[in-house]
Structure 1
Amino acid sequence: MTLSAFLRIDKILLGIVAAVLFLTLGIYFYSTEYFALIYAREDGFVEYGTALFLFVASFVLIMNARSLKARGARLALGCTLFYALLFFFAAGEEISWGQRIFGWETGETFQEINKQQETNVHNLIVPTPWGDFHLAKTLFGPILTLIVLVYLAVLPLLYPRVGWIKLAANRIAAPVPSKRHAILAVAASLLIAVIDVPRKWEVYELVFSLLVTSIFLLPQNRKHTTFLGRDI
């Protein structure tokens, strides 16, 4: 595929993001009940869309890793493979590793320590001397949200201006978002902040999965991170 083809794919992905944001706002004003019970429901369009694009993002990273291996960039290769593993894990977690699709029973251990009694990690409840530690409300809640916002909205501004950040991002092959990604990320964050409806974060996750797929294909630092790098 040529660069122009990937540019078209990128426009499609960002167009879908914009469409999701407009659709979300429209459905919110139409019916909050429809939003929670149909649009963003468990095992619905939004959740499966998130899992699909997280898997796609992982695949893109693997393709990038193949190119980095050919260039002999060992550190960048290792980091990119690690990123690919993280996104594959996130995709599996999103659908509880296919448990509800294939209908297997939750094991006894997960029934005891998982908030939703499912086979996944992000809903685990870890007992501590200070009380139960809910991963979904802490590590996978505000902490992860802050990290995502810094990555999507702050890093694109710092990368071209701060030398050591630029050098570090390139050395570890961290795909840096562009301004177009940052604008859409801020728009999504503002939308999620102002609407008050159950399961609104499911939409935020879908937007994130679409954005990172676009970022991994055409980041700011693509010559250091992607299989398109040598052609640009």
Structure 2
Amino acid sequence: MLETHGTDAQAGARPLEGNSTAERLARVTPGPRWLWLYTPLILIVSLFLSGNLYPDFYGRYINPEIGALELTQFFVMCVATVVAAGLLRHGQVWSRGWLRAWVGLALVCSFYVAGEEASWGQHIVGWSTPEYWENINDQNETNLHNVSPWFNQKPRHVLEAAIIIGGLILPFLARSGRLGVGRINYLVPPLAGVPTAAIVAFRRLDEARLELSEGASSLFYRSSEVQELFMYLFVLFYLLALRRRLDVVPPPR
């Protein structure tokens, strides 16, 4: 049974102060400041320091397949899956086909990524990979993202570009009202996603630096895994903010 929600006053939401609907949407946050601002900053600094100052500790406890980094990735996407599922049951989402399709896509993608990060349970339970699957999976794991770039690099590049553009540029355009107040503006990430998107972009710049500078080393150990964590955090923060937007401004029809 779908959940039903009323207007801001009925739901007890406190509208954000602002001069326009666009500004109110842009200023919605996924939660308290420590969640969307301090947590990403603390994480990136901790990963940088531990990887460079304590490489043995990093290699033993953070980097392995069932280490802190990949387990956190799995946990974040599990939470994102739950949030997306809850959003899909929301009356204002379900009654709008365009928003239902968008949240449904987020749910499917979040579930897929969560499953892939744990190799659908192999990293946790520890079962052996069937021989026929070993022949097509370059990491001998029961997942799809090590089978073809179409299940790994290509979707990753799309998400990375979406985060950099949608997290660093579009929020400011949306806040200014240049994107209007229609469906597109409602789906644009809020300003609170900027810190996490900036970290994703920074890792991309670090990778470009490595490609241009022969002999240079990355600032992060297994930097692609570090970037994935912040990409997943961005997705989670986006979904949380979208849920809170429903209590601030009703989505357009």
TM-score (norm. length: structure 2): 0.70
Residue 4 of structure 2: aligned partner: none
Residue 148 of structure 1: aligned partner: 163
How many residue pairs match? The answer is 214
SS at match of 1:218: helix
Identity in percent: 22
**Distance (Å, rounded) in 2 between the aligned partners of 1:216 and 1:86:** 12
> Is contact 2:13-2:248 (8 Å) kept?
no
Is 1:180 aligned with 2:210? no
Deviation at 1:96, TM superposition (A): 0.7
SS at match of 1:49: helix
SS at match of 1:88: helix
Deviation at 1:33, TM superposition (A): 5.0
> Is contact 1:60-1:216 (8 Å) kept?
yes
CA change 1:75–1:95 in 2 (3 A) is: same
Deviation at 1:140, TM superposition (A): 4.3
Residue correspondence of structure 1 range 96-107 to structure 2 within 5 A: 96-107=119-130
CA change 1:71–1:41 in 2 (3 A) is: closer
How far does the alpha carbon of each residue in 1:130-181 deviate from its partner, in whole angstroms, 9 at most, with x for none? xxx5754x414544422332232233233334336x53425xx63x322231
Q: Which amino acid aligns with 2:41?
A: A
2:233 equivalent among 207, 210, 222: 210
Q: Which amino acid aligns with 2:192?
A: R
> Is contact 1:192-1:200 (8 Å) kept?
no
**Distance (Å, rounded) in 2 between the aligned partners of 1:59 and 1:43:** 22
Deviation at 1:83, TM superposition (A): 1.2
CA change 1:76–1:28 in 2 (3 A) is: same
Deviation at 1:85, TM superposition (A): 1.2
Q: Which amino acid aligns with 1:186?
A: A
How far does the alpha carbon of each residue in 1:82-133 deviate from its partner, in whole angstroms, 9 at most, with x for none? 21111111111111111121122223342111110111111114xxxxxxx5
> Is contact 1:155-1:177 (8 Å) kept?
yes
| Larger RCO (CA under 8 A, 6+ residues apart) | 2
Q: Which runs of 5+ in 2 are unaligned?
A: 1-10, 15-27, 207-217
Residue 49 of structure 1: aligned partner: 72
1:74 equivalent among 97, 103, 107: 97
CA change 1:222–1:162 in 2 (3 A) is: farther
User: Which structure 1 residue ranges, 4+ long, deviate > 6 Å from structure 2?
Assistant: none
Structure with larger Rg? 2
Deviation at 1:34, TM superposition (A): 4.0
CA change 1:8–1:186 in 2 (3 A) is: closer
Q: Which amino acid aligns with 2:35?
A: L
Q: Which amino acid aligns with 2:160?
A: T
Report the RMSD for the aligned CA atoms in angstroms.
Answer: 3.2
